[in-house]
């Protein structure tokens, strides 16, 4: 998936969840006017998904972002932000579900093996004690 690094210009009007981009950036990202993108603050590990609107007044290397979204990202006017086409929510949920299933399965297998080993060791101890008493 293609990503762009754009310079932030704070929007004057409150517009949480909406950004303005030059049409060439939409073409580069492979989205249409009204599509969604993810804004990523790589340093702060924060992502905000927003709706994009084209604006001929926005320079090619800029993005206009609301103050609310800047706060959510932990960025300021003049900073750079990574921009990429948003992954649909169902795809995000499927990926998260698959990762969770994998992690739970791995941990359950380790617990099973650990419990099995401990159980076998205890069984052998009890068996040995019983055998010694029978002698």
Express each pLDDT in 109-120 by its tens digit: 777 677 767 777
Percent of the chain with pLDDT over 90: 40
Q: In this structure, what DSSP letter does residue 135 have?
A: -
Query: Given the structure tokens 């169902």, which residue do they identify?
Result: 90
- Chain segment 88-109, per-residue pLDDT in tens: 767 667 777 777 877 777 776 7
**pLDDT tens for residues 17-71?**
999 999 988 888 889 999 999 999 988 688 899 999 999 899 999 999 999 999 9
Q: Which pLDDT score, from 0 to 100, does residue 72 have?
A: 92
Instruction: Let me know how long the chain is.
Output: 135
Query: What's the CA gap between 30 and 17, in Å, rounded?
Result: 19
Choice among 5-9, 19-23, 121-125 with the minimum mean pLDDT: 121-125
């Amino acid at each position: 998936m293609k990503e762009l690094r754009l310079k932030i210009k704070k929007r004057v009007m409150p517009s949480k969840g909406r950004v303005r981009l030059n049409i060439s950036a939409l073409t580069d990202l492979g989205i249409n006017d009204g599509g969604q993108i993810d804004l990523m603050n790589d340093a702060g590990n924060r992502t905000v998904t927003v709706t994009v609107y084209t604006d001929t007044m926005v320079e090619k290397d800029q993005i206009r972002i609301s103050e609310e979204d800047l706060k959510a990202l932990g960025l300021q006017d003049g900073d750079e932000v990574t921009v990429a086409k948003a992954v649909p929510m169902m795809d995000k949920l499927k990926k998260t579900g698959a990762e969770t299933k994998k992690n739970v399965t791995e941990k359950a297998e380790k617990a099973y093996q650990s419990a099995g080993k401990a159980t076998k060791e205890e069984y052998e101890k009890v068996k040995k004690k019983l055998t010694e008493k029978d002698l």
